[in-house]
Chains A and B, each alone.
Chain A
Amino acid sequence: MRFAFYPGCAALAIAKEAYRSTLLLAERLGLELVEMVRANCCGAGLFNDKNRELNLTLNGRTLAQAEEMGLPIMTICNTCFMVLNRARAELDRDDYLRDKVNHHLARIGLRYRGEVKVKHLLQVVVEDVGIDRVKGLVRRPLRRLQVGAFYGCHILRPSEAVAFEDPDRPRSLDDLILAIGAEPVDYEGRTKCCGFQLDLVSPHLAYRMIGKRIMECRDRGGETMITGCPLCHINLDSYQGYAGKEVGFKLDMPTFHLSQLLGFAMGFSEEEMGFAKHLVSPERVLKDRGLL
C-alpha cells in the first residue's frame, strides 16, 4: 500500500514525535509512504477567512500534486484531513470553481482532475490494514490501561466531505484500543473540539474546552487519552497546565498520538515513540500498569 504522505506542519515541527512514530509504525504495517516534500500548508481552514479561492487554489495544488504522483494522500492530522477533503468536495461539486482553480494551477503546470482520495492514518489503519492485522502485530498488549479515545472534530465533520465514519457514533479508535489490549473509556466529549483554533485568539475559551474534555474523560475512569491529531495533542498535552488552572483542577492526563500507542503496543520502545517529548509524562501510568 503506497500513499502520498502529507504530514502537516505540526508534525514537522512542534509534534515531531508524531511524525517519527508514524514512520516507524508505517514500516511495521507495510505502508509505503512517499512524503510530499513540495506540498504547502493546508492553512488549517484560515485561508477561508482570507479568501475562499485562495483556500481552494493552495489546497488544489496539494491535491493535484498527489494526482500527479498517482497516489492517495495520507495525513496524520485531523485538520489537514478535513481541510483537504473539504476543498476536494467543493472542487468536485462546483465546475465553475474548479475551472477557476485550474486556471490558476495552469500557471504552475498543474491540474486538478478530481480523482484523488484523502485519507487519515486512522482510516488507513482500520480500512486498509485491518484490525486483525493490528492485533497480530501486538507484542506488548497494554493490559488494563484505561484509554479515552479523543476523536476530535475534523476527522468526523463535515461528514459529507470527510466521508469517514458515523460522526455521532465513531468506533475506529475504540476498536484499535481494544486491538492493542487496552480498555476504551467512553466519555461525553470524545467527538468534540479541543479548541486548537482559539489558542492564540481567545485562549481562555480554548483552555476551558481542553479542561472539559480531560475532566470528562477522567471522570469516567480514563487514565490516558489517545488522539489521531497533533493539533489536539498540542492542546491536550502542552496546554494542559493552563487548562487545569482554568477549570481549577490539577490535571495529570498523559495523551498519546495514535501512532505512538500503536507502535508502543507493537514493541517499539518509549524512546522510539518519543514519549519524553510530552509535557505530561505517561511514565507513572505505564509503570503502574507494568508496561515500563
Chain B
Amino acid sequence: MRIKVKIKRCDPTGRGGCEPYLQAYDVDVKEGMTILETLMWIKENLDGTLSFRRSCRSAICGSCALVVNGTPKLACKTQILREYEGAREVVLSPLSNFRVIKDLVVDLSPLWDKIGRIEPWLQPGSEPPEGGWIITKDEVERIDRESRCILCGICNSGCNSQEVDPEFIGPSAAAKVYRFVGDVREDGKRRRLERVSGPHGIWDCSRCVMCNEYCPKRVEPMTSIEKLRVEAIREGLVDNAGARHVEALVDSVNRVGRLDEAVYTFRSLGFLRSIGMIPLGIRLELHGKMPLPHIFPAIEGIEEVRELIRAVEEEE
C-alpha cells in the first residue's frame, strides 16, 4: 500500500536555523513493517539527508523514540499500518520536551544529567554477607518494573510537568530513584528520599498519567512516584506542600468522608500562602462558590470510613 509519510524536519546547518518544516515521502508499506523500517527505507532510497537514531531494532536500546501522530513511541516497536489506519495519516516528529538537534534527533543530555544526579548505582551500607545477598522473589518483584527502563525518553516527552518545568526530575529519573529506594540492599534510602522531596521533585508530578500510558516497557513511572511519596511520608519527610496536601486530604476524609476544600487549602498551603489566596476567595464568594470550612456535615456512614482507615492503619 502506498502512503504518504510526513516527517517534521529541521536542519540547524541550513539557512533559517532549526526552523521546522514538514516533508512528505511516498512509501510502499507492507503489513508488519515498522516505522523504523520505513525510516530506514526512506534514508536508503529517497533521502540520505534524513536523520534519526536507532541501534537495536528490537525495543531494547531505547534509541529510536519519536512522536507518531502526536504520541511518543518506539519506531522499532510500532507498525506503520496500524498508525495509518487509526489516523488516516502518519506524521513523525521528534520527541517533545527536548531540544531538536536535527530532524528526528533530539538532545537527550538533560535526561542523562537527571539520571546522573540521582546516582544510579546501588549504595549498600556494608559488604555483602558471606555467600552473597539472599534476595527473595518478592523483594525482586518490588523493583521489577523500575528495572526495565531503557532510558528512551518517551515518558519525558509526554510528561506534562516537564513541559512547564524543564528542571522537574521527570518520570524516568524518578522511577530510577525508586529502583534503589525499593532495593533491600540499599542504605541511602533516606538521603535519596530527602533529595526528591524538594523543589522539582516527586511532589511536582501532576498525575497526568502520560508516562504510565506510553512507557513501552510498562515501567509505570507515575506509580513509582506514588510509591516514593508513600516512602517519603513514612520517613517523616512531611515538611512540604505535597505531603501536607496528602495528610490534609486523608484527615478531611476521616473527619467528614469527603473533601473539606477550605480546610484542605489552608493546611496544604500553610498560613502565609493561604493569605495570598484571599483575592481569589473574594471572587469565588461573589460567585457563590466560596467553600466554607467545617460546614459539611459528615456523610452518612462516616463511621464505616473511619473503621476502614483504622483497619488499614492497624495493619501497617
Contact = CB atoms under 8 A, between A and B. Distances in A.
Interface residues on B, range: 35 or more
A49 B230 CA distance: 5
Contacts of B87: 169
A193 B206 contact: yes
B257 interface: yes
A59 to B, nearest CB: 10
Contact of B308 (A49, A50, A57, A276): A57
Contact of B311 (A107, A208, A209): A107
A40 B245 CA distance: 18
Given A198-B204, A209-B206, A46 B304 contact: no
Given A9-B261, A208-B164, A14 B233 contact: no
B261 A14 contact: yes
Contacts of A198: 161, 204, 206
Contact of A41 (B160, B213, B259, B312): B259
A238 B258 contact: no
- Which has the most chain A C-beta neighbours within 10 Å: B69, B205, B210, B304? B304
Contacts of A167: 213
A201 B160 contact: no
A45 B246 CA distance: 10
14 contacts: A41-B249, A41-B259, A51-B316, A54-B312, A61-B304, A104-B312, A108-B308, A157-B208, A167-B213, A192-B208, A202-B204, A206-B206, A209-B160, A276-B288
A58 interface: yes
A208 B165 CA distance: 9
Contacts of A13: 259, 261, 291, 296
A140 interface: no
Contact of B250 (A10, A50, A105, A276): A50
B246 A107 contact: no
B5 to A, nearest CB: 18
The 9 closest A-B pairs by CB, nearest first: A193-B208, A9-B259, A49-B229, A208-B164, A157-B209, A193-B160, A200-B268, A41-B258, A38-B301
A258 to B, nearest CB: 18
B288 A157 contact: no
B157 interface: no
Contact of A201 (B242, B258, B300, B308): B242
B217 to A, nearest CB: 15
A166 B86 contact: yes
Interface string A263-288: 00000000000001111000000000
B299 A40 contact: yes
Contacts of A52: 226-227, 230
Contacts of B268: 200-201
Given A14-B289, A43-B250, 4 more contacts: A58-B305, A153-B209, A195-B160, A200-B264
Contacts, number: 184
Interface string B191-207: 00000000100011111
A240 B212 CA distance: 28
A169 B163 CA distance: 20
A205 interface: yes
Interface in B11-46: none
B160 A168 contact: no
Interface of B: 69-71, 86-87, 160-161, 163-165, 168, 199, 203-210, 212-213, 226-227, 229-230, 233, 241-242, 245-247, 249-250, 252-253, 257-259, 261, 264-265, 268-269, 280, 283-284, 287-289, 291, 296, 299-301, 304-305, 307-309, 311-312, 315-316
Contacts of B261: 9, 13-14
B287 A279 contact: yes
A242 interface: yes
Contacts of B259: 9-10, 13, 41, 44
Nearest to B264: A200
Contacts of A48: 226, 229-230
A58 B253 contact: yes
B304 A108 contact: yes
B204 A49 contact: no
Contacts of B164: 195, 205, 208-209, 212
A164 interface: no
A105 B305 CA distance: 10
Given A12-B258, A13-B291, A202-B241, A157 B308 contact: no
Contacts of B308: 57-58, 61, 104-105, 107-108
Contact of A108 (B246, B257, B291, B307): B307
